[in-house]
Amino acid sequence: MAGFELASGGPLLSVRDLRVRFVTERGAVNAVNDVSFDLHEGETLAIVGESGSGKSVTAKTLMNLLPRTARVSGEVRFDGQDVRALASCGAKHFFGVQMTMVFQDPMTSLNPVKKVGEQIAEGLRYHLGRSRGEALSEAENLLADVGVPEPGRRVSQYPHELSGGLRQRVVIAMALSCRPRLLIADEPTTAVDVTVQRRLLDLLDGLRRDRGMAMILITHDLGVARGRADEVAVMYAGRIVETADAGTLFGDMRHPYTEALMRSIPRIDDPVHHRLDPIPGRPPELIDPPDACAFAPRCRYARHDCHDGVPELSGSVGMHRFACLHPTGAERGQAALAANRAAHSSSRDGDGGKDGSGNSGKPDRGEKPDGGSGKPDDGGSG
C-alpha cells in the first residue's frame, strides 16, 4: 500500500490493510479484512456497524487486546510509531498514556474489589509517577471533570455502590487520567440507561474538544455519529464498506448498507406509529465467507454480478470511498433497484413471495436478485 506521511503533519493514527483472523475449530474467522483509515489529531472517527461487523475487533487490535489466538497483519502507526511493534516489545507508558480505550459495559469494566479512586489513580501513579496522595486528589478532580457529584465521597466507594451512568463516567475519568492523545470509545453508551446516553456522549465530545484529543467512536447507531464525528467509516462483515467525512457521508451516501442503516434509525419527525425500516436478515457468518459482496443477500440493489468477487473499496484513504457495484444515488444503483423490483413482482405471482404483504405502500426490501428463492439470510451462498 502507499507510504505514510511520517511524524508531524501526518495523521495521528494511520491504519493500513489491517486483517484479523481467528482460527477456531469450525474454521478461520475473518473478523477484519483490509481495513485502512487515517485519523488526524483532535478529530473524531466514528466506526459504525452491526454487531459482528468487526468494529470492536478493530478497536481491540489497535489496543493490542486481542487473545493470542488472533492472527493480525497490516500496519498501525501512531504518530509514526509502529504500534504493533511497540506492543510486542512491551513498551512502557504507551497504552494508557498515548492511546487508551473505554469499553461498552461500565458494570464490568471496573474492578469490583478496588475503590473507584484507586482505580483512577493507578494510571497516574504508574505512568506519571505521582504519589498516592497526589494521584488520589487528581482522581477527585477528574471525577469532577466528568460530572460525578460529590467526587470526594466517590473516590472511596466501590463500583457496586455507583449507578451505571456514574460508573461509565468513572471509566471515562480513568481513561482520561493520563491525558491520552487518542481515546477509543467502544459503544460507550450501549449498556447505560437511554436517559443518560446522550448526556454521556455530549460529555465525551466536550472532553475531547477541551483536551484536543482524537477519538474513535464505535457505535451501531449512525445517529450517534451524526454531529459528533468528523469522519465516518461504515463496517460490514469485517470490511469498511463506505467511509467519508461526516458531511459527505450523511449527505451523499453511496453504499446500500449505509442507506439501510440510516433508514432503520427512528426520527423525531417520523409520523406517530410509523414503522421502522429494519434491515432484513442477519449479518453473515465470518467463517469461510463466499467470494462475494457480503451484504448482497440482504441488499435490495443486489444483482448477479454482486456475487462475483468482493467489491473493492474505491479511491484512496481520505477520499469518499465505498465498495459497491450498484451504489445508491447513482445510475447503476437505480437501474439495479428497478430491475429487482420488476423481477420481484413477476416472481411473487409465481411462488407467493417470501416477504409477505405487510409492507404495502413502501418499497419491499431484501428481494433476491435471482428470483426470490431462498431466505434473505441464507448467508450469501451466491
Partner 1 sequence: MARFLARRLVLLAAVLLAVTFCGFAAMNLLGDPLVNVVGVLAELDCEAIAAGTAQDTAVDAAGSDCDTVAAAKAQYHLDRAVPTRYLLWLGDMLTGDFGTSFQNDQPVSAVLREKLPETLMLLVMAQIVSVGIAVPWGVIAAYRANRAFDRGSTVASFGLLAVPNFALGVVLLYLLALRWQIFPSAYESGDFASRVFSLVLPAFTLGLPLAAGYQRLLRTDLITTLQEDYVHMARAKGLPPMRIMFRHALRPSLFSVVTVFGVSTGTLIGGSLVVEQIFGIPGIGREIVTAVVRDDFPVVLAIVMVVAITFVVINFLVDLLYSWLDPRVRTR
The residue among 92 and 153 lying less far from partner 1, judged by its C-beta, is 92
For residue 238, the minimal CB distance to partner 1 (Å) is: 21
The residue among 74 and 106 lying less far from partner 1, judged by its C-beta, is 106
The residue among 95 and 322 lying less far from partner 1, judged by its C-beta, is 95
Residue range at the interface with partner 1 (CB under 8 A); choices 129-137, 169-177, 265-273, 337-345: 169-177
Residue 144 interacting with partner 1 (CB under 8 A): no
d(CA 54, CA 298): 18
* Rounded to 5°, angle at Cα 229 from 240 and 268: 100
Enumerate residues 10-69 that contact partner 1 by CB under 8 A. 60, 63-65
Residue 190 interacting with partner 1 (CB under 8 A): no
Contact with partner 1 (CB under 8 A): which of 50, 122, 221, 305? 122
Residue 131 interacting with partner 1 (CB under 8 A): no
The residue among 60 and 307 lying less far from partner 1, judged by its C-beta, is 60
Residue 93 interacting with partner 1 (CB under 8 A): yes
Within 8 A by CB and 6+ apart from 282, the residues are 377
Enumerate residues 334-373 that contact partner 1 by CB under 8 A. none
Neighbours of 159 (CB within 10 A): 21
Q: Where are the beta strands (DSSP E) in 25-165?
A: 27-39, 44-48, 70-78, 81-82, 99-102
How many CA within 13 A on the CB side of residue 166? Answer: 16
Enumerate residues 285-304 that contact partner 1 by CB under 8 A. none
d(CA 180, CA 241): 29
User: 128 near 178, Cβ under 8 Å?
Assistant: yes
Residue 92 interacting with partner 1 (CB under 8 A): yes
The residue among 184 and 325 lying less far from partner 1, judged by its C-beta, is 184
Contact with partner 1 (CB under 8 A): which of 49, 123, 283, 289? 123
Residue 234 interacting with partner 1 (CB under 8 A): no
Residue 113 interacting with partner 1 (CB under 8 A): yes
If DSSP codes are grouped into helix, strand and coil, which group holds residue 23?
strand
Using the 8-state DSSP alphabet, how is residue 156 labeled? Answer: T
d(CA 184, CA 59): 7
User: 186 near 105, Cβ under 8 Å?
Assistant: no
Contact with partner 1 (CB under 8 A): which of 1, 6, 23, 114? 114
Helix (H) or strand (E) holding 242: strand 239-245
Residue 171 interacting with partner 1 (CB under 8 A): yes
Contact with partner 1 (CB under 8 A): which of 73, 108, 131, 156? 108
User: 211 near 142, Cβ under 8 Å?
Assistant: no
Residue 280 interacting with partner 1 (CB under 8 A): no
Residue 94 interacting with partner 1 (CB under 8 A): yes
Q: DSSP characters for 308-334? A: SSPPPPPS-TTS-EE--SS-TTSHHHH
The residue among 127 and 332 lying less far from partner 1, judged by its C-beta, is 127
Contacts to partner 1 by CB under 8 A: 60, 63-65, 90, 92-97, 100-101, 103-105, 108-114, 122-123, 126-127, 158, 160, 171, 174-175, 178
